[in-house]
Amino acid sequence: MKVKYGMTKEVIYVSKGDDLYHVLTLMEKHNITKLPVLDDGKIAGIVTDNQIAEKLGSFRSKGVPASRMHASTVMEKDFERVSPDTEIK
């Protein structure tokens, strides 16, 4: 089976400049734990609830609220990319 047959057509995503409050709100609203991060319409990274929890702890200890941190602060930039025609094994 190819990836394209399991892909979501209406992808929920965030932009690099979106604050973490917005990111967490989307995750909660849609009951998801990962979101693609876009920059000028192209995928720039992936953000997960675990990454946010890790970073929030260290930033909150410095008094920085989630509304002042952005998706680009916590996103994973190094991830595997596949095309819609990639075979799922």
The 3-state DSSP class for residue 19 equals strand
The amino acid occupying position 78 is: D
> Strands, E, within the chain: which ranges?
14-15, 34-39, 42-48
**Cα 8 to chain centroid, rounded:** 15
DSSP secondary-structure letter at 58? H
Could you read off the pLDDT of 45-78 as tens digits, one per residue? Answer: 999 999 888 887 777 667 777 778 899 999 999 9
The topology (CATH level 3) of 3-74 is CBS-domain (3.10.580)
Name the phi and psi angles at 29, rounded to 5: -60, -40
Distance (Å, whole) CA 62 – CA 46: 25
- Digit-coded pLDDT (tens) for 9-57: 889 999 999 999 899 999 999 999 999 999 999 999 999 999 888 887 7
